[in-house]
Amino acid sequence: MNQGRRSAWPYLFLTPAVVLFTLFLAVPIGYTFHLAMRRTKVSGLGLGKGARREVFVGFDNFSAALADAELWQGWLRVLGYGALVLVVMLGLALLFALLLDSARVRLARFSRIAIFLPYAVPGVAATLLWGFLYLPSLSPIRSVLDADLLGATTVTYSMANVAVWGGTGFNMLVLYTTLRAIPRDLYEAARLDGASELQIAVRVKIPILTPAIILTTVFSIIATVQVFTEPTTLRPLTNTISSTWSPLMKVYRDAFITGDLYSAAATSIVIAAVSLVLSFGFLRVVRNHAFGEG
């Protein structure tokens, strides 16, 4: 009897997590699939009781989503935006982490806070802040750059700047925390062998950081694919951002503007699938490169 009670304790502790997972993840996902396989059928003029009813259509909504030109145009824009954001943001995060971990760094605590602080600013507030700096009538930046920062050819770079400004600090903190966990003896041994600080960074620190770099890259890919705040917040300030600029913006338009919840549900599942493919594809490429697996 005592043995049975002891074996039940782990399940008791797991219960809150299982309940939360079921209510806030499993059930919403299941309901999304439920909506994605249905559509409203209109009879006659659509007036009167029973004129509009929900019918099962199988995978028709998924087929329509995959054939939607607007969705794929949004994907192309997001891929260009994501390539820019990932390279600059993760590159700066790695650079700052290495500099802060250097033996010769000054004002390390202030620098960490200053770099991380933009991440603490809510995304909407940060985008509005930058949006007003981009406006021709208010911007001190435009007079220096002599460019329309919200124009058709520059708006992607302007949005990428907001993402880089807000995301670099978080990724820097992840990498810096990993560096602080490395035994200092490794660095001392490298210095005794005559290695410079640059050689220590390239040959010791970066190889050890590889798992953390992969982790931050995966998280950044997922966040970039789901970009929504920046284009949606900047959209009222310019006419160069359409209501379907990103895939998630199209989901929002279909669900809450045109009222087509069924198409929006199918499109959201497609977005989730693409996120998984990109993330696991990146992990597979990294694994094959690192371990030589086919």
- For residue 288, with 0-12 CB atoms within 10 Å meaning exposed, 13-18 middle and 19 or more buried, which class applies? exposed
Same-domain pairing of 117 and 53? no
Of 57, 78, 98, the domain-final residue: 57
Same-domain pairing of 143 and 243? yes
Residue 153 lies in a domain: yes
Is 274:225 a contact under the CB 8 Å cutoff? yes
Most confident segment among 131-135, 190-194, 249-253? 249-253
Angle of helix 69-100 relative to helix 155-180, nearest 10 degrees, comes to: 40
How many residues in the chain? 294
Same-domain pairing of 192 and 267? yes
Per residue in 254-292, pLDDT tens? 999 998 899 999 999 999 999 999 888 888 888 777 655
Same-domain pairing of 12 and 121? no
User: Residue 266: enclosing H or E segment and its boundaries?
Assistant: helix 261-291
Same-domain pairing of 72 and 51? no
Of 14, 37, 57, the domain-final residue: 57
Q: Indicate the DSSP class of residue 235.
A: G
Per residue in 14-43, pLDDT tens? 899 999 999 999 999 999 999 999 988 766
- List the domain range (segments joined by +) for residue 11: 2-57
Of 57, 82, 100, the domain-final residue: 57
- Please give the pLDDT value at position 51: 60
Confidence of residue 294 (pLDDT cuts 50, 70, 90): very low
CATH code, domain with 269: 1.10.3720.10
Same-domain pairing of 125 and 263? yes
Q: Give the integer Cα–Cα distance in Å for 135 and 155.
A: 12
Same-domain pairing of 190 and 249? yes
Same-domain pairing of 35 and 122? no
Q: How far is CA 285 from CA 13, 123, 279, 294, in A?
A: 37, 31, 10, 10
Same-domain pairing of 225 and 202? yes
Rg (CA), the chain: 25
Residue 87 lies in a domain: yes
Same-domain pairing of 81 and 38? no
Instruction: Give the rounded distance of the alpha carbon of 240 from its chain centre.
Output: 22
Confidence of residue 228 (pLDDT cuts 50, 70, 90): very high
Total tally of structural domains belonging to the chain: 2
Of 184, 246, 245, 175, nearest to 216 (Cα)? 175
Residue 62 lies in a domain: no
Residue 63 lies in a domain: no
Token readout for 283 is 């992990």
Q: Give the integer Cα–Cα distance in Å for 145 and 134.
A: 11
Task: Spell out the residues 6+ positions from residue 154 whose beta carbon is closer than 8 angstroms to its own.
Answer: 147, 148
Residue 73 lies in a domain: yes
Mean of per-residue pLDDT scores for the chain: 87
- Please give the pLDDT value at position 27: 94
Q: Indicate the DSSP class of residue 5.
A: H
Q: Give the integer Cα–Cα distance in Å for 171 and 263.
A: 35
Residue 270 lies in a domain: yes
Same-domain pairing of 52 and 168? no
Average pLDDT rounded to a whole number, residues 146-172: 91
Confidence of residue 155 (pLDDT cuts 50, 70, 90): very high
Q: Give the integer Cα–Cα distance in Å for 174 and 111.
A: 15
- Please give the pLDDT value at position 44: 59
Same-domain pairing of 216 and 86? yes
Residue 137 lies in a domain: yes
Residue 20 lies in a domain: yes
